[in-house]
Amino acid sequence: MLVVSCPSEVRRVVLSERRSGATIGVVPTMGALHTGHVSLIDAARRECDFVVVTVFVNPTQFGPGEDYEQYPRTLEDDLGSCEAAGADLVFTPERSAMYLPQAQTIVRVSELTTVLEGAHRPTHFEGVTTIVAKLFNITLPNRAYFGQKDYQQQLVIRRMVRDLQWDSEIVTCPIVREADGLAMSSRNRYLSPDARARALALHRALDHAAALAEQGQRVPAMIESAMHRIISEAEQVDLHYAVVLDCETLQKPSEGAESAVALIAATVGGTRLLDNRILQFR
């Protein structure tokens, strides 16, 4: 496994792989890898000839007062996980290699980024799309792998790739959960045992939403209020949103839709957590 921090060296390697006919699979991450990340590397390994994992804690997707400085950095362990999962190359750029002095260019997706996480974190998604655009230009993916865990993010990336007419396929992989249902996240390590127990309310609320949809409940507001009730029963879970929206547009679902997505964001013990679930209507 190659570990490379220089962008031009990465591009040289992937170009030579591409020229010899290999398909390139790319898994962008901020490191602190867990089984959820590894599931993306596994999918890339199954579907591509040459697998690149990028590890970069991207400063521009953190807002003022967010956890950029504290974000866990565990590169040695991450390299071990990448190697065990069969990655061919890990790209570990320095901040100065990804953000050139006096850069004036950002990549911004408009409408989709105004709701949910975008409403709460106004500059977050332009940080994400700008860095992912750069990472794609360096790693030249045939396929790039993202988690459903960050539901809005994978939609925003899909929209960017479509709108910019890039020839990369975006693959969205299912949410990997702990045995008790908590969605895995690098930020779960911030949770005290007590906060971690309270955080299970998110999963409970989504489970209930899915059950209601299966029982024939089709009215988003009814499902949303059931989720609100479950979250409010858990103590000290500060709910930001619990909504049922169209899977593609993140607007109100149209009447007669066969599916929708339930999305929750809440702060528990000072840590902001996200979870979501696709609802199939009967």
- DSSP letters for the chain: -EEE--HHHHHHHHHHHHHTT--EEEEEE-S---HHHHHHHHHHHHH-SEEEEEE---GGGSPTTSSTTTS---HHHHHHHHHHTT-SEEE---HHHHS-TT--------GGGSSTHHHHSTTHHHHHHHHHHHHHHHH--SEEEEEGGGHHHHHHHHHHHHHTT---EEEEEPPPB-TTSPBP-GGGGG--HHHHHHHHHHHHHHHHHHHHHHTT---HHHHHHHHHHHHHHSTTEEEEEEEEE-TTT-SPPPTT-SEEEEEEEEEETTEEEEEEEEEEP-
**Angle 214-217-220 (CA atoms, 0-180°, nearest 5)?**
115
State which residue, 149 or 277, has the beta carbon closest to ligand AMP.
Answer: 149
State which residue, 39 or 129, has the beta carbon closest to ligand AMP.
Answer: 39
Q: How far is the CB of 19 from ligand AMP (least distance, A)?
A: 28
CB nearest ligand AMP: which residue?
A: 147
Q: How far is the CB of 75 from ligand AMP (least distance, A)?
A: 13
State which residue, 39 or 139, has the beta carbon closest to ligand AMP.
Answer: 39
- From CA 274, how far away is CA 272, in angstroms rounded? 7
> Which is the catalytic residue, given 37, 203, 228, 240?
37
- From CA 189, how far away is CA 72, in angstroms rounded? 9
Q: How far is the CB of 246 from ligand AMP (least distance, A)?
A: 20
State which residue, 226 or 247, has the beta carbon closest to ligand AMP.
Answer: 247
Q: How far is the CB of 244 from ligand AMP (least distance, A)?
A: 20
Q: Which of 69, 87, 109 is nearest to 33 (CA)?
A: 87
Is 37 tagged catalytic?
A: yes
- From CA 198, how far away is CA 24, in angstroms rounded? 40
- From CA 75, how far away is CA 81, in angstroms rounded? 10
Q: How far is the CB of 30 from ligand AMP (least distance, A)?
A: 4
State which residue, 142 or 224, has the beta carbon closest to ligand AMP.
Answer: 142
Residues in contact with ligand AMP by CB under 6 A are 29-30, 36-37, 39-40, 146-147, 149-150, 173, 175-176, 183-186
State which residue, 42 or 246, has the beta carbon closest to ligand AMP.
Answer: 42
Catalytic positions, please? 37
